[in-house]
Chain A
């Protein structure tokens, strides 16, 4: 198979569900904007060159329904011939989309593809608008539908992750993010138009547009004491709080993938290649352990050990599961390589967008630090893990 090159990888800011800057911005608008931005940031690329786009989305219904992968492409002004699909593997959807888009190029079936992700958790809540677990199956197996918070409690309880450890991890995530924001290190963010409905003097409302250029869930003022004061939200005597869980977030991200021929034709300098991608299942009621199994599987395929990886983006669905995976993988000695600009606890976890968003972040950091190999991994609702290995182009 031939190589597939990532030439552009960008994202919108991640903004808080219901309270953040994107609360009135439709997911199609976030996605079509970032698709456009990705094309614009790729010199010489014309929209008609794109063969297909794969868009990750965890709850592809309502505003995100009707195949948002097609709708947003059209809204972004791609020619009618440029097709699009929606890809769903919950929290790894965005990475899954990039993997599928890469495979299309690697197989020789396409020359240019886009992989991306979108989720407005404001418009479509987690679980979707009409959750309908199966009646008979759930008589015996309700665990397949375990709420994410309970899975985090289970990981904490079963594997001994303390409240203090979780809070400390959450605190560090916030501090790293705050520092990166202050130092303007989120170079993968494209300032994004957002809308809000503003009451006019005559009492009617008007849709107004403004530009949002930062992740609005970062809490610079976070303290250990403040985190310690929060009550557990999922279990009566639990340890998982709003402070040590990922934030629910709105956002979109896009990555452009090309064959070597196309890269040369346009005279581009490629950023990286997605070398391997893998997924694996685990117990649904402790889905957070997913990366602990997906990462070894991935490294095995590549013939690598953890020591070969210069940067990690391990999605912080919950501090408990992230800490557990880090501990089990022997990564504690590399804390300075993991989520260096903070993770989902500070930056948010827009479900189906996350895989694509973390790709943009990881590649930006690999470029900035000149790191050769980076891994992105996450746990997945229903009990799975996913991991992808990126190699920086010389």
Chain B
């Protein structure tokens, strides 16, 4: 029997259950969402199916309304059917995977599994999303077939956005089941798989909560303030902006305390068990229901001043009153801000001379030691722990990567000086002449394995291609400061951008030409993709505005014109070269980055795709083929035999997408917006994106790729002008657009509609490209456009002038 998930069931429709159901539906899996019948129904209501489903219906409504969106497209919700655990229990027999996400109570879970056992079909996989209850306890007394198909699948909140999926083997789980679920989680759901053991709170929350609670304890002990602790443990340490306390506000103080208490109760032999005792003031906060964001009051609280201004306040741990606070800082932070790389920043923080540094060091050092001591207890390798922290807590570096970054020997010496107990295995590693946890050998990343006391290769998915690894083995065939051409095998090359935010500059554009020359000469096809980090990261955030602004300052409009012409021809070459070109966008794919994708033969996109032509925000228009190619993409699906289709219906969404700088919130929405076409693919796992794009190139080559003939485009012509004039007038009257927006929008309409031609004319692609370029240069000569560009560079936000 070939295992498949034809239908899944999620039991429990709270935040996590709803999140899992939404992810499954977004991934195209039919999902049954069940919850309990409310306890408090009247006799009348007990007969009413709607009343009986009230709880699960609320869960479904929450899925639909949650922001950031839990679903990748609103219509995905149609794949979710709902029911209750009394009337619809038998429907579980149709499911190939049942995931339990009910209240964290052993007896409740145990009873549920006992009920599921006789209903589930043979071979049906059953998993628990528990964050802390041992699997062993839950599956006690259940039959062999059940236990063989029983495992832990621990997602992180918010499920759609957090990459981590911890898979926990039960006592009797079949290897085949574990492998299947790991593959399903990786490929279909796009998750990063971490193999955890059946130990309290598994990996992410065990390590993560130790870090948070320890940070809280030391804060109280050393007399730091909450904003100070958060300032130290933010981006300067490669952690999310929400740092320690704001993260806890997001998670909920009750949840965090529950995990901490659960750990404390269960880890009786833990050398650092006391690290899980939350400070008294936090317990008092929980008693007072100051639980964080969900009740709008946690460690932080935002209040409205009498003048209607938002005032950010923080709790005083002694009085539990909220007080205003200002900017905080330590000398070590000033030093760190001057550093370029994360390891340098971390060193500046941890090896400084002030109280903040002393505090950060104690927190980090205890965390590193704690993590090392947990192997092999909670995980077999350091890789699992590092991945769990990166994927589940959005750390840029996990503990062992951090340790490497700050110098293993240096830090161990300081730990010992400070009287900390350094794990024997770490000392042994150093004694063996191994001073890092990771090293790259022959282009492969290796990690230090405590078990065998030797380095082992980090295993990657068979679909994943790692550009850094290939480049490490001499796979880079061409490069410049802005981009590289990487040989990804089988005659396929990858054009990798590596500027800041992967912005397009003239060097990068020139490189694209060189790359395509090279592939034409030596290869079968090209992938345009990169693997810059970040959440969500940027495939390319658009053109390099600094370069453009500098050129404007020098009145070098001819240079800009040549640069735009070069970008247009580079993007046109993507389509008309004799080899296939596949773009592999993810995350922010804006402006010029979006144009590079629209021009490709095909797009293989990550499911988290924030794609849009946002140029109007800086007072320009898409002039690197964006206007032409979006129009073409919108209309290219109309068969010739349709004849006089109403182009107005196609024009309006094209125009609105550009004139309102519409950005998709997912690849599914980009498809709905017309930016992705029917032949473009969506990949859920970003780690596999380049690999999947390469497969697409090879498929096209195998199919006997020939570039499409260039055909003139049918346009709306002057009819667009009247339509847009009238609509802009209304929007201006309604106060929705400024005069300058109106000026820009009208000209953009002129470009998309092919200029001064009659309705339904056909024009060459180059006609629209020329209109794009002319308008672009004209816009750059306007003061208000320059002001918009300057404002964006200064603040990162668009100016409405």
Q: Which A residues are within 8 Å of any B CB, using their own CB?
A: 129-139, 142-143, 145-147, 149-150, 153-154, 234-238, 285
Contacts and interface: CB of A to CB of B under 8 A. Distances in A.
A132 B730 contact: no
A134 B736 CA distance: 23
B729 interface: yes
Contacts of B728: 142
A150 B730 contact: yes
Contacts of A132: 648, 719, 722-723, 759
A142 B735 contact: no
A138 B725 contact: yes
Contacts of A133: 722-723, 725-726
B646 interface: yes
A328 B726 CA distance: 30
A136 B648 CA distance: 18
A135 B729 contact: no
B268 interface: no
A153 B718 CA distance: 30
Interface in B681-732: 718-719, 721-723, 725-726, 728-730
Interface residues of B, number: 17
Contact of B730 (A130, A146, A236): A146
A386 to B, nearest CB: 24
Nearest to B720: A135
A149 B734 CA distance: 9
Contacts of B452: none
Contact of B734 (A129, A138, A142, A238): A238
Contacts of A134: 722
B42 interface: no
B736 A138 contact: no
B300 to A, nearest CB: 30
B305 interface: no
Interface string B644-682: 001010000000000000000000000000000000000
A236 B734 contact: yes
B735 A236 contact: yes
A216 B688 CA distance: 55
B440 to A, nearest CB: 56
A142 B725 contact: yes
B554 interface: no
Among A133, A134, A136, A234, chain B packs the most CB atoms within 10 A around the CB of: A133
18 contacts: A131-B648, A133-B722, A134-B722, A135-B718, A135-B721, A136-B721, A138-B721, A138-B726, A139-B721, A142-B726, A142-B729, A150-B730, A235-B733, A235-B735, A236-B736, A237-B735, A238-B734, A285-B733
Contacts of A142: 725-726, 728-729
A150 B733 contact: yes
Interface in B304-352: none
B482 to A, nearest CB: 41
Please give me the 3 A-B residue pairs with the lowest Cβ-Cβ distance, nearest first.
A138-B725, A142-B729, A133-B722
B15 to A, nearest CB: 28
What DSSP secondary structure best describes chain B's contact surface? Answer: helix
Contact of A138 (B646, B722, B733, B759): B722
Contacts of B718: 135
Contact of A135 (B648, B722, B730, B734): B722
Given A130-B648, A138-B725, A237-B735, A147 B730 contact: yes
B722 A234 contact: no
Contacts of B733: 146, 150, 153-154, 235, 285
B734 to A, nearest CB: 4
Nearest to B734: A235
A158 to B, nearest CB: 12
A213 to B, nearest CB: 30
B18 to A, nearest CB: 28
A138 B728 CA distance: 10
A285 B734 CA distance: 12
Contacts of A154: 733
Contacts of A138: 721-722, 725-726, 729
A56 B276 CA distance: 79
B123 to A, nearest CB: 32
Contacts of A131: 648, 723, 726
B734 A145 contact: no
Contacts of A136: 721
Contacts of A146: 729-730, 733
A150 B735 CA distance: 10
Contacts of A143: 729
Given A131-B723, A135-B722, A145 B735 contact: no
Contacts of B726: 131, 133, 138, 142, 145
Contacts of A150: 730, 733-734
B308 to A, nearest CB: 16
Nearest to A144: B726
Given A135-B721, A147-B730, A150-B730, 15 more contacts: A131-B648, A132-B648, A132-B722, A132-B759, A133-B725, A133-B726, A138-B729, A142-B726, A142-B729, A143-B729, A150-B733, A236-B734, A236-B736, A238-B734, A238-B735
A237 B735 CA distance: 8
Contacts of A237: 735
A206 to B, nearest CB: 24
A154 B287 CA distance: 55
Nearest to B648: A130
Contacts of B648: 130-132
Interface in B90-134: none
Nearest to A145: B726
A233 to B, nearest CB: 9
Nearest to A131: B723
Contacts of B722: 132-135, 137-138
A112 to B, nearest CB: 41
B719 A145 contact: no
Nearest to A233: B734
Nearest to A238: B734
A142 B730 CA distance: 9
A125 to B, nearest CB: 12
